[in-house]
Structure 1
Amino acid sequence: MTLPTKMQAMVLTRHGDLDAYAWHEDWPVPVPAAGDVLVEVGATGLNNTDVNTRTGWYSKAVTQATTGGAYAEVGEEDPAWGGSPIHFPRIQGADVCGRVVAVGEGVDPARIGERVITDNWLRDADDLGNLDKTGYYGSERDGGYAQFATMPGRNALAVNSALSDAELATFSCSYSTAEGMLERAHVTAADTVLVPGASGGVGGALVQLAKRRGARVISMASEAKHAAVATLGPDRILPRAPANLRGALGDERVTVVADITGGPQFSAFIEVLERGGRYTCSGAIAGPVVDLDLRTLYLKDLTFTGSTVIGPQVMPNLIRYIEEGAIKPVLAATYPLRDLRAAQTAFIAKEHTGNIVVIP
């Protein structure tokens, strides 16, 4: 195909509110460098990293819950996920599904035409396991909020599936984040896993992937979303914020809490863990600053794990699960890329159950 030289793109110009985005009709189509592929974007999923990076929420100067709006103070030195600045202008959007339309030097031209989804973690080719040499697609380099995007060839993973581009664009962030959490917590069929925020993209993925491991799963979500959450197969569904979590659980023995919410319920999550239990966290949308009684941590022999950078084997495993039909997408809504601001507004307000995707 003859590739255009200009494209439509939604470009982030600074940290701030939704007006930090600028729509362009004539942004240059990127050229794949050595080792890169050029992907014609079919769909790109939204995730919390996009919102939090836009607003600068990752800065330690921000102590409140994710709001999606501008904050009064954002540290200049630590506004992105890695605790360092990013460069503007930046095209965000990590969760890409599309087709390879060109390749850079050193990439097999036979890859042209491949349908791919992204592995979002940008690793050092010579040191794949080094967390300090890891970046995030759409943060440390331009991503998929555009008609075309380049990425390292190793980050464009071939997928053979009857699912739509929009459905496939729900997997890269939500499901890899969830699988990374479950791996860090060593979840097995012997566990009972409590999943707060089960109606969101990561929460829904946690339910499915924990069930795939054979675990018993107790999800938490607002009652209006219980019917949708039930389709994911949890063993029980509790209200989003019961006044007495221990009482709501009854005789359940929770061995793992897989949490992306944090906030005022954090202490209750820790209190209900069994002795020797594990708490794993990959988000704090309800608030990043929490109360912890250290006596609970050490007297109950608990293990806490943070989970951000996933291992390089996670996405290939997820591709296999997708192709086998072992996991299903939870696509809540699609928006035109031009309407990214409206899509993020709906995402932040949790208007939908599952993932939101934008289409160029």
Structure 2
Amino acid sequence: MLIGEVARRSGVSTRMLRHYDALGLVRPTGRTVGGYREYSAEDVRRIFHVESLRSLGLSLKQIARALEDPAFTPSDLVGDLIRWTEDRLERERELLRRLRAVDASEPTGWQDVLRIVELLQGLDSASAARRQQAVLAPPEDVPVPAEVLAGAVLSEADPNVAGALRWALARAGGDGVAALAAGLRSEDADIRRRAVRAIAGMPDAPGATAALADALGDPDPTVRDHAALAMGRRGAPAAVPALLAMVVTGSHDVDAAEVLAALAEDPGVAERLTAALVDELTAHPTDPAVRIRLTQALVELPGPAAEQALHRLARDGDPTVALVASALLGVLEERSPEAPEEGSPD
């Protein structure tokens, strides 16, 4: 088979076939009377072997060794190729991130491009102080895209820099929530925690409440707690079960009780909350720590049902629970507008 026919059938150009011949990688078995290269069926099979190995990223030198050395084992080389490919993909993802950041800044000239690149280099610095400076004092006239800040939030481990990034992100506008919501789907719990804290600081951002609602089902308790507190502060009743669980477990229970109290300003919600707290008391008859936390949450709720529950708790079989409930009832009486003033007759 002549070189032109081989090229047509294999998809390898005649120029590349001549290059393979010069390297000794695929030499045609024969020549015609006129001196043209003539390839056998075995030569064509070798060409396909070469092309298959090239598709894995092997160099021609590596391919020659693989085909000629009987002792050659592919496992180490394939492992190296995997690592090289992963490194290359990471570099390309980083390049794509930078290009998107430049595009999102809507540069009007190359000076704008250079400024946003300077900002990105600052955010990628190994120095926490420089990263914080890049956030708080970006290059002059450089609008920091929300997507860039969101990506930096998800990867930032330093608490001071992370706080600065969340502050800047909350003021940047844009579609930062979408990038943060992607972080909520990460397998890394630390990334999900960073994402939910940042979303919690963006109360007016479109999509924030929906992202927080999804986070209520997160397997990590820290993510769930931040999502529940943020949703409750937005007035979302959907956060109530998670907030009640926080009171029961003692995880940020004071914050959770305060948010429940705020939600209870709605009379309908207050009634359901009181019933839920009473149910939890029934479910934990012998755990004084849980019962005390639930008692403390009850005192913040308006309405006669909550007060009646406190009166029952003042007679609780556990003296510590009874003492706490009695003390809280005294606080309620002092708050009551109908309570007699000191020194006045009953």
TM-score with structure 1 length normalisation? 0.24
Q: Is the strand fraction higher in 1 or 2?
A: 1
TM-score with structure 2 length normalisation? 0.24
| Higher relative contact order (CA closer than 8 Å, sequence separation 6+) | 1
Q: Which has the larger radius of gyration?
A: 2
